[in-house]
Structure 1
Amino acid sequence: MPEIASADWDGFIDLPRELEEDLIEIGRTLPAWSVEGAFLADSTIERYRVKLDSAPLFDEVRGPLLDMLSGAAGGYAVVRLRNIAQALGIGDQFLHLATAILAEVAIPFQPFQRWPLWKEIGTNLDANPGLSTGTGYNAFHMDLVNATQPPDYTTLLCVRPDPLGAGASILSDARAAVSRLSPSSRALLADMAYSYGSFFNLSDVGEEYRPFPVLDGEPADLGFVRFTAKMLIESGLDEAHAHAAKELADQMVAGQVSFTLQRGDMLIVNQHRWVHGREPLGGGQHNIAPEDRRLLLQLFLRDTGATGPIAS
């Protein structure tokens, strides 16, 4: 069995060396993917699955990974592919393998029409510090909060960590945070009172949802805790609804976990259960060459078992 840490490191999967060696060889032979619309093609998924099934120990990873992501106490996982990244580099071979592993969780797709399947999240010193490409604190949020059907999972693959050792990923169990609120706050969060962001050039995420409720009353495998801390500033909320959202934000911070992704680490977050963000990057980013600054790749997943792809 793969070594799956517990206690403070629950959520991390370290692969056995034998499996790493098999996956390195598989990564060298996997074909390029094809897409159908925004989604990874069924033919690609089947070809990738056959290759993964040829690794005897992969089944022992698949089950625990799915349990971590969708079990009653789960919601995120970090698959440590560091040694594989060292052997293959983080180029096409590695991305084919990472995509194959993710296709065992749900269907990879890219809702942003202007970007490829894997979207770069680099470090831009001119960006708003609170954005994903900025250098400051990126507060808790779910991705595409203002879509009627957000991605079920968001994935972040570390190409380069912050050379200054900062920029830890932060996560929080959104449903646990909600459970600690008063009934009156939960009632306010169920109102169609919140809004955030723009909506354009998107595929297969439904329609724009504006305004939206933070709590939609759906079961955890179907509904979302529609939260982004940025809506506290941009929604034009009245005092009561703003206070309820601020209470939820505080509970998320109180229950957060954090860790710093290293090269080859792949974080998968179940958006029905958890929210994510980032601590500030290290000071002095202007002294780091652009090609050496923190770089992640992002890919989204659609769980057809829960909702199914929406036609464009």
Structure 2
Amino acid sequence: MPESKGRASGLVDLPRELEADLIEMGRTFADWNVEGTFLAHSTIEHYRAGLDSAPLFHGFRETLLSTLGGAAGGYAVVRLRGIAQALGIDDRFLRLATAVLAEVATPFQPFRRWPLWKEIGTNLDANPGLSTGTGYNAFHMDLVNATQPPDYTTLLCVRPDPLGGGASILSDARAAVSHLPTSSRSLLADAAYRYGSFFNLSDVGDEYRPFPVLDGRPADAGFVRFTAKMLTESDIDAAHAQAARELADQMVAGQVSFTLQRGDLLIVNQHRWVHGREPLGDGQHTIAPEERRLLLQLFLRNRKYVPVAG
């Protein structure tokens, strides 16, 4: 079970009967097809027909959707460990995980150079604060500088850190905003923030530079556009930087942390929550590269989205 700290967790367990059904499906699902950057509709329908044949899947789907949505929702950890043990985390497992995610929203890959599932390994030479680094990866949303970021980001644990580090951290961004004074929220609504580059992307709109942290839109449509890296890697005036630091402090104060295990699938609703990672365990140089922490990432787009040129 993931170690969990902070508020009530979003753990979603599978009934044993459903797990057994999904293991059998994982052995029979066909390879997926993509249309542009999106999982093909024909593949989604094929997978859905299989999932709907499992008597307990409807109830599981409703639980998952309610965990990710609603005023109190925003993230889920779907524990597929038994399936990972039975199938191994290979193409069969990934087809099944993709089928489950397609019931939340449409899987897609905005980075043109990567396959549908993108590897996030451990690189001892990378900047420690990057997703592939070994240090603290501060709170952020993915593709913060796109006009239409992915609605959900997902992370599948293939291998946890053998040294016990790398806990996932999450925070309810909208709850954090609610604790700020009006003056700070007003500054965060200004288009005064910048971060990152923007190239070789598809279906995430245009570059948003500068952008506001708070866009004033409803929670199901807008974002709290935040990445802690903009405070150290961008030129922001003192007043706007201070407002963002206050928000970062509130995110840390309300954070949830847990350590993903092999087969755990984390789904984060980017309209509501931000995510990050605690440092990996000391001594990564003693671990063989093929045994270091490895995640796979996949993005989801809500059905109502109309693709645009990236």
- Shorter chain as denominator, the TM-score bin is over 0.9
| Structure 1 residue 311 displacement after superposition | 4.4
- Partner of 1:259 in structure 2? 258
Counterparts of 1:182 and 1:64 in 2: how far apart (Å)? Answer: 35
- Provide the residue aligned with 1:175 in structure 2: 174
Q: Secondary structure at the match of 2:250?
A: helix
Residues 31-51 of structure 1: per-residue CA shift (max 9 Å, x gap): 000000000000000000000
Question: What is aligned with 2:298?
Answer: 299
Aligned to 2:47: 48
Equivalent residue, structure 2, for 1:83: 82
Judge conservation of contact 1:141–1:276 (CA < 8 Å) in 2.
Answer: yes
CA distance in 2, matches of 1:152, 1:218: 14
Residue aligning to 2:278: 279
Matched residue type, 1:91: D
Find the aligned partners of 2:252 and 2:7 in 1 and give their Cα distance: 16
Does structure 2 retain, via aligned residues, the 8 Å contact 1:204–1:309?
yes
- Residue 170 of structure 2 aligns to a residue whose secondary structure is strand
2:203 corresponds to: 204
Q: Out of 299, 306, 309, which is 1:308 matched to?
A: 306
Give 1:210-221 correspondences, 5 Å limit.
Answer: 210-221=209-220
1:39 to 1:269, Cα distance in 2 relative to 1, 3 A:
same
Q: Which has the higher contact order (CA 8 A, sep 6+)?
A: 2
Distance 2:14 2:102 in 1: 18
Name the residue aligned to 1:157.
Answer: 156
State the secondary structure of the residue aligned to 2:123. coil
| Deviation >2 Å, runs of 4+ | 7-10, 307-312
Q: How does 1:10-29 map to 2 (within 5 A)?
A: 10-29=9-28
- Could you state the TM-score of these two structures normalised by the residue count of structure 1? 0.96
Matches within 5 A, 1:42-121: 42-121=41-120
- CA distance in 2 between counterparts of 1:77 and 1:181 reads 26
Cα distance between partner residues in 1 of 2:227 and 2:307: 24
Structure 1: segments with no counterpart, 5+ residues = none
Q: How many aligned residue pairs are there?
A: 306
Amino acid at match of 1:308: V
TM-score normalised to structure 2 length: 0.97
Gaps of 5+ in 2: none
Secondary structure at the aligned position of 2:17 is classed as helix
Counterpart in the other structure of 1:185 = 184
The equivalent of 1:232 in structure 2 is: 231
Q: Residue 211 of structure 2 aligns to a residue in which SS?
A: coil
Q: What is the CA–CA distance in structure 2 between the aligned matches of 1:247 and 1:64, rounded to whole Å?
A: 34
Q: Distance in 2 between matches of 1:299 and 1:158?
A: 12
SS of structure 1 residue aligned to 2:174 = helix
Note the C-alpha offset of 1:60: 1.1
Q: Report the RMSD for the aligned CA atoms in angstroms.
A: 1.1
Deviation at 1:9, TM superposition (A): 4.6
What is the Cα deviation at residue 309 of structure 1?
A: 3.0
| 1:247-268 CA-partner distances (Å, limit 9, x unpaired) | 0000000000000000000000
CA distance in 2, matches of 1:112, 1:252: 28
* Preserved contact between residue 302 and residue 308 of structure 1 (Cα < 8 Å): no
1:127 matched to 2:156? The reply is no
Q: Encode CA deviations 1:141-200: one digit per residue, 9 max, x unaligned.
A: 000000000000000000000001111000000000000000000000000100000000
Q: Does the 8 Å contact 1:78/1:268 carry over to 2?
A: yes
